[in-house]
């Protein structure tokens, strides 16, 4: 049974890569999500899903995927960098708004 789940995850992950290569972002994210149903610990699929979620305008979903990556692999520098690029604009905006209010 584990073999079949792993095989299904690999198939959906490959489909996600293929569809992402031709810029069908929603379909690619859907394929990576399907891969994760069979193998929730698939770091590649999680990072790909996060990148696509961000590109599709869903930063909260991207951050959730990246949190899962960090939980699985706390030394994954790419996940931390991706998370920072999502959070930094929001943090900068909040800081700017505070400074403008105090000005």
Sequence spans of domains, the chain = 2-102
- C-beta of residue 36 within 8 angstroms of C-beta of residue 42: yes
Q: What pLDDT score does 39 carry?
A: 95
- C-beta of residue 28 within 8 angstroms of C-beta of residue 9: no
Assign domain 2-102 to its CATH superfamily. Tetratricopeptide repeat domain (1.25.40.10)
- C-beta of residue 32 within 8 angstroms of C-beta of residue 60: no
Q: What pLDDT score does 5 carry?
A: 87
Residue 15: how many other CB atoms lie within 10 Å: 17
Candidates 86, 91, 87; CA nearest to 55 is: 86
Candidates 75, 22, 70; CA nearest to 50 is: 70
Tell me the pLDDT of the chain (103 aa) as tens digits: 778 888 999 999 999 999 999 999 999 999 999 999 999 999 999 999 999 999 999 999 999 999 999 999 999 999 999 998 888 876 666 666 676 676 5
Residue 43 neighbours by CB under 8 Å, 6+ apart: 69, 72, 73, 76
């Amino acid at each position: 049974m584990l073999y079949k789940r792993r095989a299904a995850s690999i198939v959906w992950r490959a489909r996600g890569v293929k569809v992402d290569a031709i810029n069908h972002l929603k379909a690619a994210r859907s394929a990576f999500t399907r891969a994760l149903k069979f193998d929730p610990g698939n770091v590649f699929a999680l990072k790909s899903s996060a990148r696509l979620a961000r590109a599709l305008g869903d930063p909260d979903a991207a951050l959730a995927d990246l949190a899962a990556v960090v939980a699985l692999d706390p030394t994954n520098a790419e996940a931390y960098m991706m998370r920072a690029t999502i959070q930094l604009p929001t943090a900068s905006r909040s800081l700017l708004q505070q400074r403008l209010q105090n000005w």
